[in-house]
Structure 1
């Protein structure tokens, strides 16, 4: 496939997917969501790949959603339908990522913010550079934290009490705190990040795929990940209304 916002490297049992909008901080736009969804759907029919590594080009993993799209989409369709479709597409990507039959690893460096943090927590395992930084800024920006249906997943991974503070204060936190909250599974020096990801990926690529798929299904059921779609469409409605209001205020 010819990708515009991703770099994809197929290493047989390991597939590397890199967000590739470095000039925009790898911000997630509609095109990137479309391409991510295409890859995730293709992987469901690929029985060679056992591990997918998600990373970001340039200085950051991902600095969030591309907010420049919001007023453009609203100008195209004042009913908000285009904004709603964007939110629903983000939910489909995150749901597909969490339910993928193979193991996914997020390689986190630089800024991991908003939608970027959402993509990371929907991966099975997360390794971060000790210099990486994290934030959920939505409430500070005047929009609810509904992107991709991330709230249930984040609460399941990090705990409701921790997530409540992160969302309401919109404060930034470092890699050490991210590990303390189980947002990261491992923190390493930035220069060792690739080696740490490889140490995880190589043995995982040798695991029996049927056992991995069943184990992931069991873990998803235990964590309530299969309930992510509950309320997500209502969340999209609220998110659309909030984004539309913000876009109008900027005019």
Structure 2
């Protein structure tokens, strides 16, 4: 296989045909920085055509999966203007598209924060296993922003009606509710049960032929219809307008200052 790229924000462990990818920025609850996005995309590209890699297991270090986008990257983009915000936003959509279409079976193990971009990653998994205490949500509107790149994948995963409720209330919910919504397939009570469920799923995946799985996954995705690149391009423009607008400025500033934004009652 092609050598795996060197990563500073990811831990990579390959054995038995399974590549374990751990998001490794625990101090920020594994917030998705531009560097992490680039490294994840490089890993997915490196193994895309390698059928000796049968499954990918994506998890997070430090008890959290992913708390969303990195506010520091947004602060850096502010000095560069609207185009920088659009590009910052769009690159995450490109990651979601790439992860959605990776030929390997993508399994997400979800603990702690599964918010924003982390929620999006869960929505492009083939199999999602959650701790019952995991906290899911789309917090963007509470920050004066929009879930621009994530929304089409969430709608595809759980349907328009529930996505409208979650995106327009920024409501948080646990693993049991995530299972009810169809976001996750399994909910477990502790770390040992999560590990046992993961082993069971991997045993099932490894009984399937890798080329057949890759072709079947492509067929299923094509049958369901896909979030389009054109829509995601337009959504990135909307995100840029939101983040540079009055609400986006107030919402992100309030987040960094650990206070409620002006509109919050």
- Band of TM-score, shorter chain: over 0.9
Cα RMSD (Å) of the superposition? 1.6
Q: Does 2:240 match 1:240?
A: yes
2:174 is aligned to 174
Q: Deviations over 1:29-75 (max 9, x none)?
A: 10000000001111112221000000000021111111121121221
Q: Deviations over 1:200-232 (max 9, x none)?
A: 01220231112111211121112212x432311
Q: Does 2:206 match 1:205?
A: yes
- The 5 Å alignment of 1:135-154 reads 135-147=137-149, 150-154=150-154
Determine helix, strand or coil for the equivalent of 2:219: helix
What displacement does 1:194 show?
Answer: 1.4
- Give the alignment's TM-score, normalised by structure 1: 0.93
Q: Does 2:215 match 1:214?
A: yes
For 1:65 and 1:202, locate their aligned partners in 2 and report how far apart those are by CA, in whole Å. 33
- Give the alignment's TM-score, normalised by structure 2: 0.88
Determine helix, strand or coil for the equivalent of 1:230: helix
Number of aligned residue pairs? 246
**Structure 1, unaligned runs of 5 or more:** none
What displacement does 1:247 show?
Answer: 6.4
- The 5 Å alignment of 1:29-178 reads 29-75=33-79, 77-78=80-81, 80-147=82-149, 150-178=150-178
In 2, are the aligned partners of 1:70 and 1:244 still within 8 Å (CA)?
no
* Residues 1:248 and 1:162: Cα distance change in structure 2 (over 3 Å): closer
For 2:133 and 2:249, locate their aligned partners in 1 and report how far apart those are by CA, in whole Å. 36
For 1:202 and 1:83, locate their aligned partners in 2 and report how far apart those are by CA, in whole Å. 42
Q: Deviations over 1:111-156 (max 9, x none)?
A: 1111111011111110001111111111111111113xx2222112
For 2:143 and 2:248, locate their aligned partners in 1 and report how far apart those are by CA, in whole Å. 12
In 1, are the aligned partners of 2:146 and 2:239 still within 8 Å (CA)?
yes
For 1:164 and 1:84, locate their aligned partners in 2 and report how far apart those are by CA, in whole Å. 23
**Structure 2, unaligned runs of 5 or more:** 255-265
Q: Deviations over 1:156-187 (max 9, x none)?
A: 22121111100111111111110000001010
Q: Give 4+ residue runs of structure 1 displaced > 4 Å after superposition.
A: 246-249
For 2:197 and 2:13, locate their aligned partners in 1 and report how far apart those are by CA, in whole Å. 18
Task: Tell which deviates more after alignment, 198-207 or 88-97.
Answer: 198-207
2:8 is aligned to 4
Determine helix, strand or coil for the equivalent of 1:9: strand
Higher relative contact order (CA 8 A, sep 6+): 1
